[in-house]
Amino acid sequence: MVCREHTIEDTIGRCIDAIFSMKGHSSQIRKAVIPAAGFGTRFLPQTKAMPKEMLPIVDKPVIQYVVEELVASGITDIVIVTGWHKRAIEDHFDYPYELIKTLEQQGKEKLLEEVKRTAELANFIYIRQKGPYGNATPVRCARQVIGEEPFVVIWGDEFIYATPPRAKQCIEVFEKYGDPVISAVRVPKEDVSRYGIVDAVNVEKNVWQIKKLIEKPEPQEAPSNLAAHGCYILTPDIFPILEDLPLGKSGELWLTDGIAELMRMRPVYACEVTNGKYYDTGNKLEYLKTVVEFALAHKDLNGDFRAYLKSLKL
């Protein structure tokens, strides 16, 4: 871990504390948590029986894009925190013996390889969520599986297509500084009230040390248009904080409240994601836009689908 001077407040004592806080913890990140226990109420009645994370983007569900991002970032063990209504996620990443045998007999080699690849993407661990409603609860539930390792938290109903992958960009910042990292994207000033906005000091290109996270500020009150968004590199010292965390807004347990407490103990950074585009597939309109965009880029569909859209003469 590197001790550095970004501001006067970055004292030698803080560097020493951070060094000791990492003792016994592996710096290599190999585990990730995907919270996926929500009800997907914005997509009802579709999500009454189908998990929102399983909504298709042409021929792959949303959560597979998320998993593929993690795997491309070096993650090997993926903990998916689910509920009673999310068995379809487990089935999707399972090894379907009967289907594989059928595809083999039918000589459908291309489909066979894709089905096998999906099942072999990572080591999947499934946990049922227990505890109060809120996005900190699934992280807290994964404590026993994560152990004393740094890890990734990433949502299962949205993704960013970036080069290199968003999670990898964040992991690289963590490996350099040794402290928690949150991915961040620029949003239009008029849209800041939809996001958690970062009040931060620039450290280097695309890296910011967070002073405060402001949840959904009005545009005139926002300190920036940099939104903390969707991917978190956390250290295991977050778990005792989450265990004692009181319920926050709307009686829910919020991960951002836990991170705010963590910031009292150590620096937390924002990694501004570069060369990427955010797809909010938890929103109906944005989901439809994503499907159209990916269909236009699909090698088997792009010509015919593009011609069809042109024929609509909108």
Helix (H) or strand (E) holding 227: strand 226-234
- Among residues 102, 105, 98, 78, the alpha carbon closest in space to that of 90 is found at 78
pLDDT score of 39: 84
Q: Note the pTM of the prediction, 2 decimals.
A: 0.85
Taking a C-beta distance cutoff of 8 angstroms, is the pair 95, 51 a contact?
no
CA torsion through residues 54, 59, 60, 62, sign:
negative
Residues 240, 244: Cα–Cα separation, whole Å: 7
97-150 pLDDT, tens digit per residue, is: 889 899 988 999 999 988 899 989 999 999 998 888 888 899 999 999 999 999
- Please give the domain boundaries of the chain with CATH numbers for all domains: 28-282 (3.90.550.10), 284-314 (no CATH)
Residues 6+ apart with CB under 8 A from 236: 25, 146, 147, 148, 149, 150, 151
| % the chain with pLDDT above 90 | 49
Q: Please return the burial class of 209, using the count of CB atoms within 10 Å of its CB with bins 0-12, 13-18 and 19+.
A: buried
pLDDT score of 85: 87
